[in-house]
A and B are shown apart, each in its own frame.
Chain A
């Protein structure tokens, strides 16, 4: 498989799940839309689109390794080609979902429905510039989510039984540690996030940089990964 074929193959397999995601979103939107007609509008808060898409991409990326890897080998592709195909797919999917989401958000804003949307709270006067900044921000977050999500199946695949336990436990440990640390260092963390939300371009740069670090980690793990027999 060439990188192009690999890319198209990945993209094609994302088509279905992305469609389902938007179908669910639109269904929820329709329901809340009806609810707001009945119930007092201020009591309805609907803000799932931006964050929901990030979580969706994280999980989708977690499912984008094993079978793809074995299939690429069956097709005579190298790990390098597969990774290039995956990277370009992740970039295109992140960009595509960003565009769709910005469009949907703009639509919601135009409808003046009382929905809370992160993007609209970016402190930039000009609405177009604000949309632009928000778009870049979303793209960076989506890419970050995908690069991070991919790390899980790849590292789990490389490890043996004991390694999986160690990694699983340490992930749990780290997340407990983080929640503890965030309680201790609540103030600087809050300040950091405030800074991010006030400076969307810096935030995007930081997200992209982190995504690049994860992508590098992904590649280092994939580079010589052996295929296992089930």
Chain B
């Protein structure tokens, strides 16, 4: 499996949604596709899954364009909010999916449905948002495609269903590793799962590297305001926060000897993400990293 995007640009009228994106997915890893609302994540996934065509550039799957390429599309499964399942019930959809995807495991899917307590006889149009998401993820996890695109998979799910989904995702990934792209806003819930992180901001590819590398690029120090300020002078600070007399600063770079009075912790992906894309002025970001 090799999926590569070359100089990918998508415009809707005057609006540039994605701007000159380049990346390659070629390993059975869990990728996190992160970005703020409207950053272009869903558009990117919909282009990979044959929903829309890029304005410029191309997406290749094993060297061939994904557009109208059924051989490729049978190896790609996209679960997204606008996924359409008619007014059929889950039972019928599972039957059709088993014909559509060569490695679809019907038995496993029915078992998953039971664990999520999904009513197989209920028309999908009558399902709640949470249960629609449940249906999408159990189909996605049973399809066993080499490339799995999960766009906000836990949308509207309750905490129990979310935990169960992560558990099943890990189990399924351990049994048969495939390339999984997880696009979500709940970064805190998935940060332990992600091996690689792709961040899109304002239509541009900001980050594409391993989570480990990314997180090792920065750290946090906290302590008395004056001491933190002393320590931070001349360092590349990407964010700071003061509560009473306690100040916390996020710093890019490798951790140098900090005085014992300062608390040093790692950056969480969530913190780093907020710092990287939270800027209200996108032009300033160019100089970072």
Contacts and interface: CB of A to CB of B under 8 A. Distances in A.
A220 interface: no
Interface stretch (B68-76, B109-117, B156-164, B229-237): B68-76
Contact of B68 (A2, A13, A71, A78): A78
B95 to A, nearest CB: 10
Interface residues of B, number: 25
B70 A81 contact: yes
A75 B96 contact: yes
Contact of B84 (A1, A2, A74): A74
A11 to B, nearest CB: 13
Given A76-B74, A78-B68, A224-B53, A70 B84 contact: yes
Interface residues of A, number: 22
A77 interface: yes
Contacts of A80: 68
B15 interface: no
A75 to B, nearest CB: 4
Contacts of A1: 96, 99-100
Interface string B29-52: 000000000000010001001111
A40 interface: no
A78 B65 CA distance: 13
A73 B76 CA distance: 11
Contacts of A224: 53
B85 interface: yes
Contacts of B74: 76
B76 A76 contact: yes
Interface in B112-160: none
Nearest to A5: B99
Nearest to B50: A73
A76 B82 contact: no
Contacts of A76: 50, 70, 73-74, 76-77, 100-101
Contacts of A78: 50, 68-70, 73
Interface in B1-59: 42, 46, 49-53
B85 A71 contact: yes
A78 B77 CA distance: 14
A137 to B, nearest CB: 34
Interface string B78-90: 1000111110000
Max count, chain A CB within 10 A of own CB: residue among B50, B78, B82, B100: B100
Nearest to A81: B70
A75 B76 CA distance: 10
Nearest to A13: B86
A44 B52 CA distance: 55
A130 interface: no
Interface string A85-114: 000000000000000000000000000000
B49 A73 contact: yes
A186 B124 CA distance: 52
Contacts of B42: 229
A227 interface: yes
A219 interface: no
B82 A230 contact: yes
B97 A75 contact: yes
A226 to B, nearest CB: 4
A71 B100 CA distance: 11
Given A5-B99, A76-B70, A71 B86 contact: yes
Given A5-B96, A81-B70, A227 B51 contact: yes
A227 B97 CA distance: 20
A80 B77 CA distance: 19
B5 to A, nearest CB: 18
B50 A5 contact: no
A18 to B, nearest CB: 18
A157 interface: no
Contacts of B97: 75
Contacts of A71: 84-86
* Shortest beta-carbon contacts, A-B, top 10: A70-B84, A75-B100, A76-B73, A227-B51, A226-B52, A78-B68, A1-B100, A5-B99, A76-B74, A78-B70
Interface of A: 1-2, 5, 9, 13, 67, 70-71, 73-81, 224, 226-227, 229-230
Interface of B: 42, 46, 49-53, 68-70, 73-74, 76-78, 82-86, 96-97, 99-101
